[in-house]
Amino acid sequence: MQNNNQPHIMKYKTQALILLCLILLTGVTVGVSFIDLGAFNIWIALFIASVKGSLVLMFFMHLKYESKVLIFSFLGTIFFLFILISFIFWDVAFR
Amino acid sequence: MSAASDETGKKLGMWLFLYTEIILFGGLFVLYAVYFHKYTDDFILAGKELNKYFGIINTIILLVSSFAVAASISAVQKNEKKTAVSALSFSLLCGLVFLINKYFEWSHKIDLGIYPNSEKLIDLPAGQNMFFGLYYIVTGLHGIHIIIGMTLLMVSLVLVQKEKINHSKFTLLENSGLYWHLVDLIWIFVFPLFYLVI
């Protein structure tokens, strides 16, 4: 968005590469789910989901190429989501 | 100049809406996490009822359709109308297949007597009842989002066909795409939480 009106055009090749990564990560998360690691299973699954989510956000949703307004407002949302989750767990865990 | 900033405004507006969606589903995930913490064993037992393979297939379908939508935006920007139309039609087809899978998955559960307020669920321990309640709420709300997303994509497809959406004016397609990717993003978290973790 910096001082030009030319939109950033994603290459098909980049998009296909992202799709490939996403499918591979799906394979990894399914594979890991067959191994019993106790509580770690949840954390690994959530970690892989976050990586996949970031790929979708950055490339498919184009966030990597957007203006600072969008990027910071998005991070703000994630911050509030974090507050929501952590404060509720703070309460639940010490009840 | 005013036209260019207007397009940015439309996109920012769409993102603001998407933030509320993130918090909406975030709240449901918190609910899931708290009850998982409280009824871990029941959740593990109930989760075994869900078919991993339905989840895997639907995940891949949504990922591929997200790719197709992203590609259609590039195609419109490059003025490749035919590619854009076929990519959008393909992603609509993916959405439809997703819903058909969901239909079979839900009807199988309902045949087994697992649906909100069913006698079987009421007799089960509270934690299992809670798991299936959350399952129906989260996947149901997600399914409604799929339908809304498909509607938006369909409108975009018609407008691309009519060349009302073209290489110099494509914000509606971009915003519909953003919505579709959000639906995919939510599924990326729903899938491991309901189908894999337990």
Look at A30 and B184 and tell me if their CB atoms are within 8 Å: no
Q: What does the pLDDT read at residue B1? A: 47
Helices (H), A34-67: 40-55
Residues of B numbered 75-134 whose beta carbons fall under 8 angstroms of chain A's beta carbons: which are they?
Answer: 77-78
Quick check: B115 pLDDT over 70? yes
Look at A45 and B197 and tell me if their CB atoms are within 8 Å: yes
Select the residue of B8, B19, B34 nearest A88 (Cβ to Cβ).
B34
Cα separation, A45 vs A33, whole angstroms: 8
Domain B2-196, CATH 1.25.40.10 — does that match? no
Q: Does B67 touch chain A (CB under 8 A)?
A: yes
CB B94 within 8 A of CB B61: yes
- Average pLDDT on A17-24 reads 97
According to DSSP, residue A56 is labeled I
Q: What does the pLDDT read at residue B192? A: 94
Select the residue of B4, B11, B177 nearest A5 (Cβ to Cβ).
B4
Question: Beta-strand (E) ranges in B121-166?
Answer: none
CB B71 within 8 A of CB B87: yes
pLDDT, tens only, B127-153:
999 999 999 999 999 999 999 999 999
Residue appearing with tokens 């591979």:
A24
pLDDT, tens only, B61-77:
999 999 999 999 999 99
pLDDT, tens only, B12-65:
999 999 999 999 999 999 999 999 999 999 998 998 889 999 999 999 999 999
Model confidence at A93, pLDDT cuts 50, 70, 90, reads: confident
End-to-end Cα separation, chain B, in angstroms: 54
Cα separation, B179 vs B177, whole angstroms: 5
Q: What does the pLDDT read at residue A1? A: 42
CA atoms within 13 A on the CB side of B196: 30
Task: Tell me the whole-structure pTM to 2 decimals.
Answer: 0.93
CB B178 within 8 A of CB B21: no
The average confidence (pLDDT) of chain A is 90
Look at A26 and B182 and tell me if their CB atoms are within 8 Å: no
CB contacts of B184 in chain A (<8 Å) are 56, 60
The average confidence (pLDDT) of chain B is 93
Residues of B numbered 157-196 whose beta carbons fall under 8 angstroms of chain A's beta carbons: which are they?
Answer: 174, 177-178, 181-182, 184-185, 188-189, 191-193, 196
pLDDT, tens only, A27-50:
999 999 998 888 888 899 999 999
